Amino acid sequence: MASTFARVFSSRARRVGILSLVGAGSLATGFFFNRDYVGAASQQRKLYPPSAEYPDLRKHNNCMASQLTPAIYARLCDKATPNGFTLDQAIQTGVDNPGHPFIKTVGMVAGDEESYEVFAEIFDPVIKERHNGYDPQTMTHPTDLDASKIRSGQFDERYVLSSRVRTGRSIRGLSLPPACTRAERREVERVVVDALNGLQGDLKGRYYSLTQMTEQEQQQLIDDHFLFDKPVSPLLTCAGMARDWPDARGIWHNDQKTFLIWINEEDHTRVISMEKGGNMKRVFERFCKGLQEVERLIQEKGWEFMWNERLGYILTCPSNLGTGLRAGVHVKLPRLSKDARLQKILNNLRLQKRGTGGVDTAAVGSTFDISNLDRLGKSEVELVQIVVDGVNYLIDCEKRLEKGQDIRIPPPISQFK
């Protein structure tokens, strides 16, 4: 069964030659890695034209599949970010997951901050589709974390059971979860935990590493509904985010359990402020204070968050760009939940409903999770105010229905489309 190839390997002298060639090759390709990594590697792979590599997206229904034409693919498939992240890696999750029947998924992820630049030709139209016409090429995203601007942020607690605001933050200079190496991921953990340990007052807390947690700590975190598990959703696992689990993953929370940070799950960090009851203003105040404190602490050590004017805060999934913010409540709406106009009311208020188990769960006993739909193009303050105004409106509708009065569909909030 000898072939040219087998003969090469059986010849000892040439075997040494081949191995040292590979060794030297890694150094040579190191130069190429920064400019044209995939091109260098593909010299030794079978070369196929982009048309032979273009994914079959005919049964797909996600934003990537809607926007990725063969022409765009051909122009981008040989490119790589300075870290070596490629288009194929970015779109793998969308190729592997044709689509959710009811929710149009995004279908692509970033491996690093530069992905959004190098692959702008596909990311920009995806962002535009997902974020209701926001055009990264012409628009700028406002950031505003001044919680004092919130008006009427205290809800009627006969209806609102709990309030919560979450976002994510990425550490500039380190690759994102789909692409990061183990050392990078550990570095994210080190940098963030180091900063969190500097928090004082009502923010003071503790870190629980997933690899070192005791049984009791684990049970406590489960009982508190804080513990996150290894992702099972193929949307996430196909993007490579679950590699090396549970290495460098963990949860930090303050002593009062009202400020919580997930490390190295779907993003470098997910930041959550929450409490029982309806004081959304206080939840948002703690949220802003915590974020600003953490930012100050990492800057002291020479680090910063990924952010730019075009896209706001940079996160793994394009759906979380801008503010990355989801502000919401668990609210009881027994009468309104049966009203056929509810969805239209929510649409016009720029709100979405979910079951109380999170995205894709069903509502239990007419208690809903109501939160903002938008992430990009409006500031944090604007979005939280939209939630405050919207939830107050819904509660008002519920009260009217209680009294047998009629309700009105509100006019739609303006978009920038």
Q: Which residues are annotated as a binding site for ATP?
A: 162-166, 225, 270, 326-330, 354-359
My answer on whether omega of the bond before 410 falls inside 30° of 0, hence cis, is no
CB 372 within 8 A of CB 351: yes
Contact between 175 and another protein per CB under 8 A: yes
* Half-sphere exposure of residue 86: CA atoms within 13 angstroms, side-chain side: 17
Contact between 146 and another protein per CB under 8 A: no
Contact between 317 and another protein per CB under 8 A: no
Q: How far is CA 152 from CA 111, 156, 349, 379, 384, in A?
A: 40, 11, 16, 18, 11
Closest CA to 241 of 120, 96, 121: 96
Query: Judged by CB under 8 A, how many residues of this single chain contact another protein?
Result: 58
**First and final CA of the chain: distance in angstroms?**
65
Q: Which of 207, 226, 228, 245 binds another protein (CB under 8 A)?
A: 245
Tokens describing residue 66: 């809607």
- Closer CB to another protein, 37 or 123, in the complex: 37
- Helix (H) or strand (E) holding 234, with range, is helix 234-237
Shortest Cβ 197–another protein spacing (Å): 21
Determine the Cα–Cα distance for residues 414 and 55; give it in Å rounded to an integer.
Answer: 37
* Count of beta carbons in the 10 Å neighbourhood of residue 266: 23
Contact between 92 and another protein per CB under 8 A: yes
Shortest Cβ 17–another protein spacing (Å): 13
**Annotated binding residues:** 162-166, 225, 270, 326-330, 354-359
238: three-class secondary structure by DSSP: coil
Contact between 191 and another protein per CB under 8 A: no
CB 12 within 8 A of CB 18: no
Q: Which stretch binds another protein (CB under 8 A): 28-36, 118-126, 293-301, 357-365?
A: 28-36
Phi, psi of 185 (to 5 degrees): -60, -40
- Closer CB to another protein, 26 or 299, in the complex: 26
Contact between 242 and another protein per CB under 8 A: yes
Determine the Cα–Cα distance for residues 182 and 24; give it in Å rounded to an integer.
Answer: 25
- Closer CB to another protein, 70 or 412, in the complex: 70
Q: Which of 39, 142, 231, 240 binds another protein (CB under 8 A)?
A: 240
Q: Which stretch binds another protein (CB under 8 A): 4-12, 125-133, 327-335, 393-401?
A: 4-12
Tokens describing residue 172: 């500039």
- Closer CB to another protein, 56 or 223, in the complex: 56
Contact between 1 and another protein per CB under 8 A: yes
Contact between 416 and another protein per CB under 8 A: no
Contacting another protein within 356-415 (CB under 8 A): none
Shortest Cβ 261–another protein spacing (Å): 22
DSSP per residue, 101-153: SSS-B-----SSTTHHHHTHHHHHHHHHHHTTT--TTT--------GGG--S-
Contact between 238 and another protein per CB under 8 A: yes
Tokens describing residue 317: 């999934």
- Closer CB to another protein, 90 or 345, in the complex: 90
Q: Which of 16, 48, 364, 412 binds another protein (CB under 8 A)?
A: 48
For 137, residues 6+ apart whose C-beta sits below 8 A from its C-beta are: 124, 310
Tokens describing residue 393: 């409106």
Contact between 186 and another protein per CB under 8 A: yes
Contact between 24 and another protein per CB under 8 A: no
- The secondary structure of the chain in percent helix, strand, coil, rounded to multiples of 5, reads 40, 15, 45
Q: Which stretch binds another protein (CB under 8 A): 23-31, 148-156, 260-268, 300-308?
A: 23-31
- Binding residues for another protein, per CB under 8 A? 1, 3, 5-6, 9-10, 15, 19, 22-23, 25-26, 29-30, 33, 37-38, 41, 44-46, 48, 52-56, 59, 80, 83-86, 88-89, 92, 95-96, 111, 175, 178-184, 186-187, 211, 237-238, 240, 242-245, 247
